[in-house]
Structure 1
């Protein structure tokens, strides 16, 4: 049984997929399985995967018969995992060689932490580094404080204890990762981020981050994720907390910002 199960969903990812796979296969921590979910791609994605699968038995390949989109593919990947830890990876990103080693060492040394993120540095579609990272928020307390307002964590960059992710899974929303982080923290799980840029996140025209920066509906999508979380907390768990109150406040702010941007434009 591998210590890490890596879930990599891909749809028509021929442009950057090979580099993403190679960055995982080159990890200094080698005890993992790489589960690649091909979400009914119509380009050369499958042949790229099969080329690497033929030479590395750690690759587990699954092809969806129909396009399940991100959440469906992620949950399919979760159902196939065997590892103690589950890591995420996107088909257009790049993991630095010591990423898994650093995350496993951290989780092994901190049994009270449920999920370990790493700092994300950004690079463009040509592979040139950009002088920026995602939010520099690292401690569990600071992450818990920041989450109700917005998402300070990456998605392609996380490693989580397998039993926890299998119990929680993803739910359908535009920001499935953000909604999951909210549920984890509300459920008492601590999340930390390692202060090292071990994941390179590619910014290009199709990337979610690029769209979020330019799309005024970002605030609406973020508010909907918070609403889905709050519906879960009240409807299924029947609980309220100061954390949930803050999520509710910032959800209202997001809706108002969305309306303001519509009126302004």
Structure 2
């Protein structure tokens, strides 16, 4: 068993009912060639054998901590908890079903050590199935090197597809300045966009991250807004979704709190307003749908009273 010191890297592992894959994930993390790290497992009140699996790893490696929530607090708060409990200079999240090549962490640390202007370093991604077989390669193309925050922000908003980059290695001090993972559908998108306001992104050209796609992965909820909302925050289950409005609002708030000069903030605000114009049909549709659902609810209540 290794002795424990203050680590340079913290790895947060949020998990809910992850007994099927979490052992594979932890094995891939423990096998990293870069050794100066801690792993914080935040169990969101799992009802399967996740706790037993995790505790067996805690017994074997002093670098691993296990924290169990008394209730499911939602992905947003659970991700934040992992960061709050960490003490490393660098931080990354690791989904409880994904895999990481042994040299992946070392390559990311090397970039952040050498490039002070970089706030996030990440390797390229391969998608794997339930059995770990490679499905396809994915080209994130998030190598954002412009010295202007407004240009980096626009590039991310234009190119961002699967948000694999959120599992890259970040400077913890910068990450804590952001709004973190928001508690609404697509809540990882505003976080990635906000990070561009603090520095550059560096893409490592090798495929060192393996993201698992399966029926119970959070990415499979996209077709059902209510399931996605419950995943991020169970307390908001059943609420009317204002996804487009929430994203625009998050981008504005991110811009206002970022350490940028006035001209850069104005460029960002103008770009966000243009985004609103581009998405005006979706914005109007959300308002129309909200009015329709509200009226239906009022009519239903009125009928119940009679």
Whether TM exceeds 0.5 here: the answer is yes
Corresponding residue of 2:304: none
Corresponding pairs, count: 260
Post-superposition shift, 1:10? 0.1
| 1:200-219 equivalent positions in 2, closer than 5 A | 200-212=210-222, 214=223
In 2, the alpha carbon distance for the partners of 1:131 and 1:115 equals: 24
Consecutive unaligned residues of structure 1, counting only runs of 5 or more, are 261-265
Q: Is the 8 A contact 2:152 2:196 kept in 1?
A: no
Of 113, 120, 130 in structure 1, the residue corresponding to residue 125 of structure 2 is: 120
Determine if the alignment matches structure 1 residue 159 to structure 2 residue 154. no
In 1, the alpha carbon distance for the partners of 2:17 and 2:225 equals: 26
Q: What is the TM-score of this pair, normalised by structure 2?
A: 0.75
Q: Is the 8 A contact 1:143 1:192 kept in 2?
A: no
| 1:80-159 equivalent positions in 2, closer than 5 A | 80-141=85-146, 144-149=153-158, 151=160, 153-155=163-165, 157-159=167-169
Output one character per residue of 1:97-142: Cα deviation in whole Å (capped at 9) or x when no partner.
1110000011111011111122111011122111231423323338
Post-superposition shift, 1:254? 4.2
Name the SS of the counterpart of 2:116 in structure 1.
Answer: coil
Name the SS of the counterpart of 1:205 in structure 2.
Answer: coil
Corresponding residue of 1:253: 278
Deviates more, 1:90-99 or 1:162-171: 162-171
Determine if the alignment matches structure 1 residue 177 to structure 2 residue 188. yes
| 1:189-204 equivalent positions in 2, closer than 5 A | 189-204=199-214
Post-superposition shift, 1:208? 3.3
Deviates more, 1:48-57 or 1:248-257: 248-257
Moved over 4 A (4+): 214-220, 234-239, 257-260
Distance 1:47 1:136, change over 3 A: same
Output one character per residue of 1:78-108: Cα deviation in whole Å (capped at 9) or x when no partner.
1111111101100010011111000001111
Corresponding residue of 2:249: 227
In 1, the alpha carbon distance for the partners of 2:113 and 2:194 equals: 23
Output one character per residue of 1:121-168: Cα deviation in whole Å (capped at 9) or x when no partner.
101112211123142332333854322235355245311112112233
In 2, the alpha carbon distance for the partners of 1:166 and 1:82 equals: 12
Q: Is the 8 A contact 2:14 2:42 kept in 1?
A: yes
**Could you say which structure has the larger radius of gyration?**
2
Consecutive unaligned residues of structure 2, counting only runs of 5 or more, are 1-5, 229-240, 287-306
In 1, the alpha carbon distance for the partners of 2:253 and 2:84 equals: 25
Q: Is the 8 A contact 2:11 2:38 kept in 1?
A: yes
The alignment yields a C-alpha RMSD, in angstroms, of 3.0
Q: Is the 8 A contact 1:93 1:156 kept in 2?
A: no
